[in-house]
Amino acid sequence: MDGVLAVLGICVAGGVVGGWLVQRLNIPQVVGYIVVGVLIGDTGFGLLHPNDIANLTPFNNFALGLIGFLVGGELSASIFKKYGKQFTAILMGEGLAAFLLVGLASTGIIYLVVHDWVMAIAAGVVFGAIASATDPASTIDVLWEYRSAGVLTTAIIAIVALDDALAMTLYGLGTSVASILVHAGGESIASTMLHTLFELGGALVLGVAAGFVLNAMMHYMPQTEKRLGISIGIILLCIGLALAFNMDVILATMAMGIVLINHAPRRSKQLFEVIRSFSTPIYIIFFVLVGARLSLKTMPLWIWGLVAAYVLMRSLGKWVGSYWGGRVSRAEKSVQNYMGMALFAQGGVAVGLSIVASQNLQHIQVIETMTLGDIVVFTVTATTLCVQLIGPAFAKLAIKKAGEIGRNVTEEDVMAELNVSDVVDSSIVPLKEGTPLAEVVQHFAEQDTLVYPVIANDEKIVGVLTFEMLKEVLLDRDTWLWLVVGDVMQPLTEHLLAKTNLAEALKEMQNTQVEALPVVESAETGKLIGVLDQRLARRKVNAELVRRQTALVA
């Protein structure tokens, strides 16, 4: 157990540093996670051994389940009603184009090595099927990192979510065809189709059922922390059942997320946000382990040619197929032109299929020292490293070209970037300690402000006067003539500094139920610069949010 904890510590700490370093080079952080994994794995310094990685397989399944759940939370029914035909055309275009191009290229290269067309076609079919898969994890991570929003972002989320099902279908058929071609006693096409339908259909049924159960439980648990706990519990249960019955984990939890976002959109929105923030270290560990798993030292030289052809043909297939699908379905120009480059990443699904292939195709001998299963694992391992390094960068380029970076900015994002001084109301004229109440009452009647700072003769703030404080003396008009502000004000106990972060200031004011507070230049000078009013501050934040979104659209 101590060893596992040390591995997790290395993954999180190293991943954070790696992500931070590549971000400084304007590269998506997920690339840094993977590079750190390569460096500490067998390909690099060997700090993580295969046994360590194998012990964390359940953790990887948990990460994939969370990815599926959060992706499902992005897929509301309204999106499919509006873009359903486009998504179907693009999915079939990019998936089948990658399948055909990689299949043909792999067949040709394998034939040059073994001089056996049957064996070469069998290998090409398997490679083509695996090539159709797209990694949802790293692609979605890029979209979240750069706060992307728009029609292209929506299409990317839908396609990478659905790609899993298409890849599994093609893989099931591909491995069956490969076994039949080499007369190795494989299952029939019909049997394979039934098995694949069970995996996909069972995963959907399981996910839908889990989604309805979670929604019912949330109805009786309004507290955020309890909802988080029950959600993680049901997600883990869903993952466990999917693995027990050999169903697709990502598809099951994705169906769970889809049910939740469509059946209870308002109630589930906050839950998805909480789980997304909770899952960050889990993603880091997952991607570091992906890199650490890539052992490239023992590959024969000729396989590198297969790797290069696979990467080139797969990328071309994704690009051309997406463009064709978008063109046929009359999708937006940004979807037609840039969708393909956002689909280069290949990760968990492809690696998982290659591992399954290594088991199912281990009996098919290609050359004296290598089976078809070995070739598949070696090639997919190397291509995964290549496309995981270039895929996130191209995904960022796609949303940048489409002008969708930064459009998913929230009110909280804006507040986190601002200081109190950026939204302070400096138009409020402070009251002097010696000002008669008669003048003050008139001042309150003419102005909308309900809180006024009070200053002494040296211009330093000494207290505040609110409308609530005046209520006690309003009924006795005679006192207005001889009472002054200093007699009824409240001595200063709370104030804000100009450089205080706005989000922190507003959160503290909300917790203490204070509507407005005076703002001073610094603790040393104590010079008043204005008042922070919650209502006014939020209006200014919303105006800044609209300004940013409008500028991005323009």
CATH number at residue 85: 1.20.1530.20
DSSP line for 347-394:
-HHHHHHHHHHHHHTTT-EEETTEEHHHHHHHHHHHHHHHHHHHHHHH
Q: Answer whether residue 88 shows pLDDT above 80.
A: yes
Do the domain assignments include residue 289? no
2 pLDDT band, cuts 50/70/90, is: low
Q: Answer whether residue 553 shows pLDDT above 50.
A: no
* Residue predicted with more confidence, 323 or 538: 323
Q: Answer whether residue 515 shows pLDDT above 80.
A: no
**Domain co-membership, 359 together with 259:** yes
**Domain co-membership, 340 together with 369:** yes
**Domain co-membership, 318 together with 457:** no
**Domain co-membership, 379 together with 471:** no
* Residue predicted with more confidence, 513 or 282: 282
Do the domain assignments include residue 26? no
* Residue predicted with more confidence, 275 or 234: 234
Tokens at residue 349, please?
Answer: 């699904």
pLDDT tens digit string along 216-242? 888 787 777 788 888 999 999 999 998
Domain boundary among 366, 381, 408: 408
**Domain co-membership, 419 together with 397:** no
Are the C-beta atoms of residues 286 and 361 closer than 8 Å to each other?
A: no
Q: Answer whether residue 464 shows pLDDT above 80.
A: no
Q: Answer whether residue 76 shows pLDDT above 80.
A: no
CATH number at residue 449: 3.10.580.10
Q: Answer whether residue 209 shows pLDDT above 90.
A: yes
Tokens at residue 218, please?
Answer: 């949330």
Do the domain assignments include residue 292? no
Q: What is the pLDDT of residue 416?
A: 75
* Residue predicted with more confidence, 30 or 554: 30
Work out the number of other CB atoms within 10 angstroms of the CB of residue 440.
Answer: 23
- The alpha carbon torsion through 161, 167, 170, 174 (nearest 10 deg) reads -170
Do the domain assignments include residue 388? yes
pLDDT tens digit string along 369-381? 677 777 777 787 7
pLDDT averaged over the chain? 78
* Residue predicted with more confidence, 60 or 132: 132
* Residue predicted with more confidence, 449 or 522: 522
**Domain co-membership, 263 together with 403:** yes
Work out the number of other CB atoms within 10 angstroms of the CB of residue 528.
Answer: 21
Q: What is the pLDDT of residue 1?
A: 41
Are the C-beta atoms of residues 340 and 157 closer than 8 Å to each other?
A: no
Q: Answer whether residue 146 shows pLDDT above 90.
A: no
Domain boundary among 408, 425, 450: 408
Min mean pLDDT across 86-90, 124-128, 261-265, 382-386 is at 382-386
**Angle of helix 2-24 versus helix 29-40 axis, rounded to 10:** 130
Do the domain assignments include residue 533? yes
Q: Average the pLDDT over 92-99 and give the result.
A: 91
Min mean pLDDT across 102-111, 181-190, 494-503 is at 181-190
- The alpha carbon torsion through 124, 130, 133, 138 (nearest 10 deg) reads -120
Q: What is the pLDDT of residue 369?
A: 65
Q: Answer whether residue 459 shows pLDDT above 80.
A: no
Q: Answer whether residue 316 shows pLDDT above 90.
A: yes
Do the domain assignments include residue 38? no
Q: Average the pLDDT over 303-332 and give the result.
A: 90
* Residue predicted with more confidence, 217 or 32: 217
Q: What is the pLDDT of residue 196?
A: 65
Helix (H, G, I), strand (E, B), or coil: what is residue 73?
A: coil
Q: Answer whether residue 210 shows pLDDT above 90.
A: yes
Do the domain assignments include residue 4? no
Whole domain around residue 373: which residue ranges? Answer: 58-282+297-408
552 pLDDT band, cuts 50/70/90, is: very low
Q: Answer whether residue 248 shows pLDDT above 90.
A: no
Helix (H, G, I), strand (E, B), or coil: what is residue 465?
A: strand
pLDDT tens digit string along 162-205? 776 677 677 767 766 766 666 554 455 566 667 767 777 888 89
**Domain co-membership, 460 together with 523:** yes
Q: Answer whether residue 319 shows pLDDT above 90.
A: yes
Domain boundary among 382, 408, 434: 408
**Domain co-membership, 207 together with 276:** yes
**Domain co-membership, 163 together with 121:** yes
**Alpha carbon of residue 251 to chain centroid:** 17
Q: Answer whether residue 308 shows pLDDT above 80.
A: yes
Q: Answer whether residue 396 shows pLDDT above 70.
A: yes
Q: What is the pLDDT of residue 84?
A: 75
Do the domain assignments include residue 22? no
Task: State how far the Cα of 413 lies from the Cα of 213, in Å rounded to an integer.
Answer: 33
Total domain count for the chain?
2
**Domain co-membership, 307 together with 210:** yes
Greatest alpha-carbon pair distance for the chain in Å reads: 110
**Domain co-membership, 461 together with 513:** yes
304 pLDDT band, cuts 50/70/90, is: confident
Residue whose pair of structure tokens reads 């001042």 in the numeric block: 443
**Domain co-membership, 206 together with 122:** yes
DSSP line for 271-299:
HHHHHHHHTHHHHHHHHHHHHHH---TT-
Q: Answer whether residue 252 shows pLDDT above 90.
A: no
Q: What is the pLDDT of residue 443?
A: 67
